[in-house]
């Protein structure tokens, strides 16, 4: 099947002191393998919450109340992410699904160097690979024992090799883990660290960071915003190739840097063949980058279509209003009348009806379901009935 992620009826509520906020109210979304899906909406529409929900990173007082998130595993089966144990979910985070956030400065830990933060993930998720590489390196060193240093270090290297081999066989053995804890002794594991660093450096080069070796030793506050975001992307992609969730990654950057990051993402997407869920409020960026676009409003998906269809033929009143609201040179901007609804007291029925020019009576009473009215074009609006009995897809 071509689907990577299938979200059904996802509902997330925040139980705050002022009341219950229904951040997501029955969200249905599909992400296909290898595609870039744009999730577009205003602030407060619930797009970030959707991204966090996929990774099950919703913290109290938020709670995923209902729904299912089916994720394609390697063996062609699907698992419901919401039903996994925390331990299983953790093994998916960072390795199968990764997320990059809006503020790169906030995402990087200020007290650790870039290299440390990169290798941390690599050692966690690509341990086998790292161990194998380390063993290879040691084997090569052992073969070239012509000089004095080689002879002196031989016993140490042999010990390291057997240690690494035992890690390869049984990854969770106690002895290596103990060794890793003791400050002086853990230098023995530096072979692993070096290989991980090599991988990290190559990732930094992938994201087009100049002078990667030097950057490895630097700290987050020494980098510019654009560099930091590249590092964050490198961190996410260093271990993960299936789904990358990007939450407004360019919003806090200069426009010129924005363009670079977007080009970078395009290139990486092709290379790694991963799916990308690109969350943004910027329609222009969505047009640049995405294959399909989903429009969100107040916790509901309004319309989903290919990027061409969405821009050429928007059907939902909200989508149409969004397109009109983009300022064009020489024209007056058309703002959407009214305000985004207060999260605590959402309008009844269709969430958009108070601001909709074409609102009907039924819009006040029932919230429209997401239905497919044309191939690949879904919409949730009472104006469009679609084929009778068509199920939402």
Partner 1 sequence: MTGFAFIWYNLKKSPLSIVGIVIVFIFAMVAIFAPLIAPTPEGHYNPYMIPRAGYSPTPEPPNAEHIFGTTQGQYDILYGVIWGTRTAFQIGISVIGAVLIIGITLGSIAGYFGGIIDEILMRITDIFLAFPALILAMAITIALGPSLTTIMLALIIVSWPSYARLVRGDILSIREEDFIQAARGAGSSNFRIIIRHVLPNSIYPVLIVASLDIGAVVLSAAALSFLGLGVPEGYADWGQMISFSRNWIVGTANNAFAYWYTVVIPGVFIFLFVLGWNLLGDAFRDILDPRLSRR
Partner 2 sequence: MALEANIAMDFSTYLIRRLLLLIPVLIGVSILIFAILQFFSPVERAMLFVHSPQQFGRIDEIIEQYGLDDPIWKQYLTWITQIFHGNFGWSQVVGMPTLKAIGTFLPATVELAIFATPLIVLGGIYLGTKAAAHKDSFIDHITRVVAIVGWSLPTFWLGLMLLMVFYGFFSGLFPPERLSTAMNAVVHSAEFTRYTGVNFLDGILNWQWNVTFDALRHLVLPVLTLTVVMIAFIMRLMRSSMLETLGKGYVLTARAKGLPENIVINKHARRNAMIPVLTIAGYLFASIVNGVVITESIFNYKGLGWWAWRAAVTLDIPSILAFALFSGTLFVLTNLVVDLLYARFDPRVRLGASA
Binding-site ranges for partner 2 (CB under 8 A) = 55, 57, 90-95, 98-99, 101, 103, 105-113, 120-121, 124-125, 219, 221, 232, 235, 239
Residue 305 CB-half CA count within 13 A: 22
State both tokens at 291: 């294959």
Q: Which of these segments, 11-19, 97-105, 241-249, 372-380, binds partner 1 (CB under 8 A)?
A: 11-19
**Distance set, CA 106 to CA 53, 58, 228, 281 (Å):** 20, 18, 10, 20
Which of 1, 18, 155, 389 touches partner 1 (CB under 8 A)? Answer: 18
Residue 17 binds what, of partner 1, partner 2, none (CB under 5 to 8 Å, by partner type)? partner 1
State both tokens at 371: 């239905």
Residue 124 binds what, of partner 1, partner 2, none (CB under 5 to 8 Å, by partner type)? partner 2
| Close Cβ partners of 282 (under 8 Å, ≥ 6 residues apart) | 250, 251
Closer by beta carbon to partner 1, 58 or else 262: 58
Closer by beta carbon to partner 2, 43 or else 375: 43
Closer by beta carbon to partner 2, 245 or else 310: 245
Residue 18 binds what, of partner 2, partner 1, none (CB under 5 to 8 Å, by partner type)? partner 1
16 near partner 1, rule: CB under 8 A: yes
C-beta of residue 55 within 8 angstroms of C-beta of residue 99: yes
Supply the minimum distance, in Å, between the C-beta of residue 15 and partner 1. Answer: 10
Residue 333 binds what, of partner 2, partner 1, none (CB under 5 to 8 Å, by partner type)? none
- What binding mask, one character per residue, do residues 213-242 give for partner 1 by CB under 8 A, x or -? ------------------------------
Closer by beta carbon to partner 2, 213 or else 313: 213
Helices of type H across the chain:
47-54, 86-92, 104-107, 114-125, 127-143, 148-169, 174-181, 190-206, 212-217, 225-237, 255-272, 283-289, 307-312, 317-325, 361-365
Closer by beta carbon to partner 2, 48 or else 367: 48
Closer by beta carbon to partner 1, 61 or else 171: 61
C-beta of residue 368 within 8 angstroms of C-beta of residue 303: no
17 near partner 1, rule: CB under 8 A: yes
Q: How far apart are the first and last CA of the chain?
A: 14
Residue 160 CB-half CA count within 13 A: 26
Supply the minimum distance, in Å, between the C-beta of residue 222 and partner 1. Answer: 23
Supply the minimum distance, in Å, between the C-beta of residue 21 and partner 1. Answer: 12
Give the C-alpha separation, 112 to 28, whole Å: 39
Give the C-alpha separation, 217 to 212, whole Å: 9
Closer by beta carbon to partner 1, 16 or else 162: 16
171 near partner 1, rule: CB under 8 A: no
The long-range contacts involving 378-382, CB below 8 angstroms and separated by at least 24 positions, are 378/301, 378/303, 378/304, 378/305, 379/302, 379/303, 379/304, 379/315, 379/316, 380/300, 380/301, 380/302, 380/303, 380/316, 381/302, 381/303, 381/315, 381/316, 381/317, 381/350, 382/350
Supply the minimum distance, in Å, between the C-beta of residue 176 and partner 2. Answer: 16
Residue 98 binds what, of partner 2, partner 1, none (CB under 5 to 8 Å, by partner type)? partner 2
Block residue for tokens 């080009």: 263
3-state helix, strand, coil in the chain (%, to 5): 45, 20, 35
Give the C-alpha separation, 325 to 332, whole Å: 9
- What binding mask, one character per residue, do residues 40-69 give for partner 1 by CB under 8 A, x or -? ---------------------x--------
Residue 111 binds what, of partner 2, partner 1, none (CB under 5 to 8 Å, by partner type)? partner 2
Closer by beta carbon to partner 1, 19 or else 338: 19
Residues in the site for partner 1, rule: CB under 8 A?
Answer: 16-18, 61
């Amino acid at each position: 099947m071509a689907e990577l992620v299938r979200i059904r009826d996802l509902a997330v509520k925040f139980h705050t002191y002022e009341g219950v906020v229904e951040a997501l109210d029955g969200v249905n979304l599909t992400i296909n393998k290898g595609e870039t899906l744009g999730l577009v909406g205003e602030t407060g529409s619930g797009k970030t919450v959707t991204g966090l929900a996929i990774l099950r990173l919703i913290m109290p007082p938020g709670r995923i109340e209902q729904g299912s998130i089916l994720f394609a595993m390697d063996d062609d089966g699907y698992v419901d992410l919401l039903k996994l144990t925390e331990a299983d979910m953790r093994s998916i985070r960072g390795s199968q699904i990764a997320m990059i956030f809006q503020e790169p400065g906030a995402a990087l830990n200020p007290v650790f160097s870039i290299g440390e933060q990169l290798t941390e993930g690599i050692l966690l998720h690509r341990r086998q690979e790292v161990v194998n590489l380390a063993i290879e390196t040691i084997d090569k060193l052992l073969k070239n024992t012509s000089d004095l240093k080689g002879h002196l270090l031989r016993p140490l290297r042999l010990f390291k090799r057997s240690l690494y081999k035992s890690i390869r066989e049984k990854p969770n053995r106690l002895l290596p883990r103990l060794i890793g804890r003791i400050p002086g002794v853990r230098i023995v594991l530096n072979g692993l660290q070096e290989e991980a660093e090599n991988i990290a450096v190559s990732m930094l080069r992938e994201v087009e960071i100049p002078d990667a070796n030097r950057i490895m030793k630097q700290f987050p506050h020494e980098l510019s915003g654009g560099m930091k975001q590249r590092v964050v992307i490198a961190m996410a992609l260093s271990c993960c190739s299936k789904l990358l969730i990007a939450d407004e990654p360019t919003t806090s950057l200069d426009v010129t840097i924005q363009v670079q990051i977007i080009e970078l993402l395009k290139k990486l997407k092709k290379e790694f063949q991963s799916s990308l869920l690109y969350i943004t409020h910027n329609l222009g960026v969505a047009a640049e980058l995405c294959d399909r676009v989903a429009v969100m409003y107040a916790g509901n998906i309004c319309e989903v279509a290919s990027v061409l269809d969405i821009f050429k033929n928007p059907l939902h009143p909200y989508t149409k209003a969004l397109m009109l609201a983009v300022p064009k040179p020489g024209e007056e901007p058309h703002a959407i009348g009214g305000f985004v609804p207060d999260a605590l007291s959402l309008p009844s029925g269709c969430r958009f009806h108070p601001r909709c020019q074409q609102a009907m009576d039924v819009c006040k009473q029932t919230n429209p379901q997401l239905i497919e009215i044309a191939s690949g074009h879904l919409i949730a609006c009472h104006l469009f009935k679609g084929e009778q009995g068509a199920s939402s897809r």
